[in-house]
Amino acid sequence: DKLCAVTAAMASGTGLSKFAEAFPDRFFDVAIAEQHAVTMGAGMAKGGLKPVVAIYSTFLQRGFDQVLHDAAIQNLPVIFAVDRAGLVGADGATHQGMFDMSYLRLIPNVTVLVPSNEAELNGMLKTAFNHNGPIAVRFPRTGITDEFPNYLETEPIPIGESVTVREGQGGVALLAIGTMVAPSLEAAEALSEKGIDATVVNMRSLKPLDREVLARLAENHHDIITVEEHTIAGGFGSAVQEAWDQDDLPPVRWKRIGIKDHFVEHGSRDDMLHRLGLDSEGIARTVEAFVTHSHGAASGVYRQ
């Protein structure tokens, strides 16, 4: 009875229309006022409710100050359902959700989870409902299917716990998050045919990161490649490198794959991923070039 939903003129886009019909007394559309939506969610949480604030990634930027001051400082259990995270296709540069991992992970008390498939999204929403603090779950516009798993039958996803989806023996590791897990795994399979046997890790939790898996990788991997459908600056790859440095892990060679310092215009999502080198072919090509170029380099040389 404590669960409620708040959005800012995005009821249909965020998939809340059916919830609004079923539970009209627990649904609140504040119109195009993202800052108000966040503060309203914080107020609800302060009053003992469990609000889900559903906003597109690009528009949550407008409520950054409210996330920080009204939710995070008080450590209130607001669930941020960050929709349209990543590339959105024909909506163009204004709607690309390519900055949220950077601006959310820097806020103290905020947990950030990133599912790679529908089952993980369901599990993370259950985790978020049971979490006693502000938590964001970022998910893409694409990828939700008719076979969406039953929420009640889904197990919560542990915060800060990754899953190794491919064990390699070549000293190369691909750390992927969200939508980049599947193409990274495909890239690793293609690379294996060229003699590059890469480990692939589905990190799942951006904040906190799985520090144990980083320590394990440090024992027998010399090339670390991070892959994200997000701007490189301040994103997932940056978080991994920061954690590596904070934990004084051994020097390795780095490559961060993501969106470089520019806005992304409109087009089909598949075309954009291809142009940006974020499809499986592009990832494999980048990793192969990096590993080949790095082979024989002195240990401790850091590359971006």
Q: In DSSP terms, which residues pair with 166 in a beta bridge?
A: 200
Question: Cβ(221)–Cβ(166) under 8 Å?
Answer: no
Question: What span, in angstroms and rounded, lies between the C-alpha atoms of 188 and 192?
Answer: 6
Angle at 28 between CA 81 and CA 82, to 5 degrees: 10
State the maximum Cα–Cα separation within the chain, in Å, rounded to a whole number. Answer: 64
pLDDT at 91: 83
Q: Tell me whether residue 29 is exposed, middle or buried, using C-beta atoms within 10 angstroms of its C-beta: 0 to 12, 13 to 18, 19 or more.
A: middle
pLDDT at 290: 96
At 199, list the tokens.
């480990």
Question: What span, in angstroms and rounded, lies between the C-alpha atoms of 15 and 25?
Answer: 17
Question: What span, in angstroms and rounded, lies between the C-alpha atoms of 37 and 239?
Answer: 28
Mean pLDDT, contiguous 10-residue spans, the chain (304 residues)? 93 91 94 97 98 97 98 98 92 92 98 95 95 97 60 83 96 97 97 96 98 97 98 98 97 97 91 96 98 62 39
pLDDT at 149: 59
3-state SS assignment for residue 217: helix
pLDDT at 5: 96
pLDDT at 150: 66
Question: What pTM value is reported for the model?
Answer: 0.93
Q: For residue 68, give every residue at least 6 positions away whose Cβ sits within 8 Å of its Cβ, in sequence order, or none.
A: 107
Q: CA nearest 211: which of 242, 180, 177, 232? A: 242
